[in-house]
């Protein structure tokens, strides 16, 4: 049923430059077989079933570490805190990773995404397109600082 063996999981962790522990193995396997986009708390509950002595703090640290090395993805909040604007109505946002500025993109970018394969009868109420990157003000400073 589970085609991937423990050996493979260990290899994957190593391949990402991670030290291998039972906790990491358990957390990674849980993530690997999950299609639920679980939260840290959910992962904690799942892992605890097989590995009762794990702590929530470790799950937080481990998921962040996995995310850092690109082993898993994070469906992050768009911004750290809620941000408001007086301009209502549909438009997209560009979030600068450096200065946290949010720029409006008035655009028809809606069009290219309209036919999303795999919608499966999902009833779409709102579409949000968020572009993450660097604004013109922050771009130059990045060039200077190497990467």
- 55 in contact with DNA (CB under 7 A): yes
- 129 in contact with its own copies (CB under 8 A): yes
- 146 in contact with its own copies (CB under 8 A): no
Backbone angles phi and psi of 104, in degrees to 5: -80, 140
Interface positions, 73-132, toward DNA (CB under 7 A): 80-82
21 contacts which partner out of its own copies, DNA, none, CB within 5 to 8 A by kind? Answer: DNA
To the nearest 10°, the Cα dihedral for 109, 115, 119, 120? 160
- 37 in contact with DNA (CB under 7 A): no
- 25 in contact with its own copies (CB under 8 A): no
Q: How far is the CB of 76 from its own copies (least distance, A)?
A: 6
Using the minimum distance from each CB to DNA, give the nearer residue, 13 or 111.
Answer: 13
Q: Pick from 34, 50, 55, 61: which binds its own copies (CB under 8 A)?
A: 34
Could you tell me the CA-to-CA distances from 114 to 30, 78, 109, 119, 121 in Å, in that order?
Answer: 33, 21, 9, 10, 14
Could you tell me the CA-to-CA distances from 95 to 26, 41, 77, 103 in Å, in that order?
Answer: 34, 27, 12, 7
- 86 in contact with its own copies (CB under 8 A): yes
CA distance 105 to 133: 13
Residue 111 in tokens:
């069009």
Q: Pick from 54, 71, 95, 96: which binds DNA (CB under 7 A)?
A: 54
């Amino acid at each position: 049923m589970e085609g991937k063996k423990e050996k493979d999981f260990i290899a994957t962790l190593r391949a990402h430059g991670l030290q291998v522990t039972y906790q990491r193995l358990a957390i990674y396997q849980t993530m690997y077989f999950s299609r639920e986009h679980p939260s840290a708390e959910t992962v904690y509950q799942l892992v605890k079933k097989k590995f009762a002595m794990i702590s929530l703090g470790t799950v937080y640290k481990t998921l962040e570490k996995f995310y850092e090395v690109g082993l898993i993805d994070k469906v992050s909040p768009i911004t750290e805190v809620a941000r408001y604007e007086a301009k209502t109505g549909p438009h997209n946002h560009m979030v600068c990773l450096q200065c946290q500025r949010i720029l409006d993109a008035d655009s028809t970018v809606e069009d290219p995404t309209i036919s999303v394969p795999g919608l499966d009868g999902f009833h779409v109420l709102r579409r949000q397109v968020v572009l993450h990157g660097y604004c013109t003000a922050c771009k130059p400073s990045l060039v200077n600082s190497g990467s």
